[in-house]
Amino acid sequence: MHKLLSLLICLCSISLAAQNSLDQLVVWTASYDKASSSLNIEAELKTDWVIYSQHTDPEGPIPLQFDFDDNEAVEFIGEVEELTTPIIKHSEMFGVEVMKFKDKASFRQKIELKSEAALIKGYVTFMTCDSQKCLPPRTIPFEVKI
């Protein structure tokens, strides 16, 4: 029994360590910019890993997607803009031209505040790949207090 418990603890530790390293492949931050009345979302990617544009070929990788919770204190204006110019390149892995970001990527969602204080909650869904493999899509929550 003691050996089984030790094995389970070891496996859980390995699983948690693997999850923590996956979380470090792409680090997301979100903030509010009062001057431009926009929500800014940034991704910082570990070396050799990429994420894909919202506008990449549908036959290719899972595109980046932003979703926002309903919020009466905020009106979302237009679509999320890609402030970083994506790298456009034919992908041998997917067999199509893809639009991807490497190192860093910045995005902006224009908003109109209906209240002086708001809490914006949302999710970003993305797929990350290196030159050899892709990881399953992940959905990461974020929130910004205004």
Residues 17-55 have pLDDT tens digits of 334 355 689 999 999 999 999 999 999 999 999 999 999
CATH number of 27-145: 2.60.40.1250
> What integer pLDDT is reported at residue 129 of this predicted model?
96
Q: Give the lowest-confidence range in 6-15, 35-44, 109-118, 119-128.
A: 6-15
> Tokens standing for 130?
């290196």
Domains of the chain, residue spans: 27-145
Query: What string of DSSP letters covers 92-141?
Result: TTTTEEEEEEESEEEEEEEEEESSSS-EEEEEEEE-EE-SS-BPPPEEEE
For the entire predicted model, the pTM comes to 0.82
Q: 12 — phi, psi (to 5°)?
A: -65, -40
